[in-house]
Structure 1
Amino acid sequence: MDENLVDHYAEILYDYHFLKHPLQKADAIFVLGSHDPSVADYAVQLFQEGWAKYIIFSGGVIRPIGELRNITPKSEANAFFDIAVEAGVPAEAIILDNKATNTGENFSCTRKILQEKGFDFKNFILVQKPYMVRRTYATALVQFAEFSFISVAAPDTYDDYIAKCAENNISKERVISNMTGDLQRLKVYPEKGFLVAMDIPEEVWAAYEKLIELGFVGRMAN
């Protein structure tokens, strides 16, 4: 397999998925669950820079997050909580949702917890992996429509993000399969009502098809 060609196609998908919303202050930094601990790192950075006074970690899937950081397998939310507290975020500034198992539930479960706890938040900074920024935003437009939000990730280039993932024991093959899976979801989920339809340029879809031909199919939706 020609790795340069794989990277060429993968970078096209990466750049498409990675919306570049400018940062703006919000009531809370809302972090959607992930296997990637660098997502929590970026949320901590935003908190420490003063973009919001609270962090929400949502994710009930049990994962071996942070294998290189001495974090035993636990829910995404709890693993991210540990990362944030170790980095100096006060525990009282963190809100946890340990029930969500997918992107839609990240929003519905978090909404319920905020209502139960009496938080009247209106504005959110949604944080995910770079290649999930667009799908997060498209989902929020349906599932979180009553709120204001932007969708962001750490400002890494494709090469930088692949290198960061390698440091966290996440393979490039997994990243690319996740990206093809996310593009497929952007294509098929609007008809299910899960997210708002996004325009997918021909070049992006062609790169997706090339990557599918090369075998990056591990994250396809049913």
Structure 2
Amino acid sequence: MAENLFDYYAQILYDYHFLKQPLQTADAIFVLGSHDPSVADYAVQLYKEGWASTIIFSGGVIRPIGELRNEIPKSEAEAFFDIAVKSGVPVDAIILENKATNTGENFSCTRKLLNEKRLDYKSFILVQKPYMVRRTYATALVQFAEFSFVSVAKPDSYAEYIARCEQNNISKERVISNMTGDLQRLKIYPEKGFLVSMEIPEMVWEAYKKLIEMGFEGRMANTAP
């Protein structure tokens, strides 16, 4: 019963975070770093479907990217690059940005790299995990305000996504803690100027508080001044 209860609250957060936006063709598929290899898999799918002719992988954090996929930790961008190339994406269709250590830096470091390469991209498909779609979008509204973009993820249901994560040795507990952490960031980051404020319905905030009470608080942001 307890597991069913936290799944109930987690579903509410998942549905809120997974902002649904229709795909549109773009200059580049911009993939933000993650521990979840299915993010790279979805970017490859979008590339092969012809939504953009370039993939940008951004992420400098060095860690295992799904233990079943990478035995030796690499930067997120490098690990995603390996996944894409093994899936048939040409090397010259990929741009690597491997300095970013957080979501804001994914945007700022990628902007700097594109400027250095003199690439005048105007539109992007932002790809992340389902529960980071809304925060990615809210951050892009600040960091990429002059560009056209949509924020998307592989269209998994909550149950499908949890099953996919468990196949990659990413536990349900970790996913739920990440979701509470992302909601906290949506609440506190607008006042820091990191992202645009998003309305958080009362039902979503109550589900968040219940999950915190159950101990799912492993990824809280530092709120110290």
Q: Do these two structures clear the TM 0.5 threshold for a shared fold by scoring above it?
A: yes
**CA displacement 1:19-46 (0-9 Å, x = unmatched):** 1100000000000000000000000000
In the alignment, structure 1 residue 77 sits paired with structure 2 residue 77: yes
Per-residue CA distance 1:2-60 (angstroms, 9 max, x = gap): 00000000000000000110000000000000000000000000000000000000000
Equivalent in the alignment of 2:50: 50
| Structure 2 residue 148 is matched with structure 1 residue 148 | yes
Note if 1:207 corresponds to 2:207.
yes
Tell me what 2:165 maps to: 165
Query: How far apart are 1:70 and its partner, in Å?
Result: 4.0
Select between 61-70 and 157-166 the one with higher mean Cα deviation: 61-70
Tell me if the contact between 1:65 and 1:72 (Cα under 8 Å) persists in the aligned partners: no
The one-letter code sitting in structure 2 at the alignment partner of 1:198 is M
Which letter maps to 2:47? F
Q: Displacement, 1:118? A: 1.2
CA shift in 2, pair 1:74/1:199, >3 Å: same
Distance 1:145 1:87 in 2: 32
Aligned with 1:95: secondary structure?
strand
SS of the residue aligned with 1:69? coil
Equivalent positions of 1:1-222 (< 5 A) are 2-222=2-222
CA contact (8 A) 2:37 2:69 kept: no
Distance 2:97 2:179 in 1: 25
- Could you tell me how far apart the structure 1 residues matched to 2:86 and 2:71 are? 11
After TM superposition, give the deviation of residue 71 of structure 1 in Å: 4.4
The question of whether the paired residues in 2 share the 8 Å contact of 1:59 and 1:97 is answered with yes
Matching residue's letter, 1:67: E
TM-score normalised by length of structure 2: 0.97
Structure 2: distance between partners of 1:89 and 1:71: 21
CA contact (8 A) 1:25 1:52 kept: yes
Q: Which amino acid aligns with 1:173?
A: E
Structure 1 alignment gaps of length 5 or more: none
CA contact (8 A) 1:71 1:79 kept: no
- Partner deviation per Cα, 1:70-92 (whole Å, 9 max, x = no partner): 44200000000000000000000
CA contact (8 A) 2:189 2:195 kept: yes
- Structure 2 gaps of 5+ residues are none
Question: 122-131 vs 68-77, which deviates more?
Answer: 68-77
Does the Cα contact within 8 Å between 1:35 and 1:76 map onto a contact in 2? yes
Residue 69 of structure 1 and its aligned partner are, at CA, apart by 2.0
Letter in 2 for 1:32: L
| Preserved CA contact (<8 Å) 1:41 1:84 | yes
Aligned residues: 222
Q: State the distance in 1 between where 2:156 and 2:193 align.
A: 31
Q: Which amino acid aligns with 1:94?
A: I
Q: For residue 146 of structure 1, report the CA deviation from its aligned partner.
A: 1.3
TM-score normalised per structure 1: 0.99
1:105 CA displacement: 0.3
Task: Please give the secondary structure, in 1, of the residue aligned with 2:139.
Answer: helix
Q: CA RMSD in A?
A: 0.8
CA deviations over 1:136-189 (Å, ceiling 9, x no partner): 000000011111100000000000000000000000000000000000000000
Query: In 1, are the aligned partners of 2:70 and 2:79 still within 8 Å (CA)?
Result: no
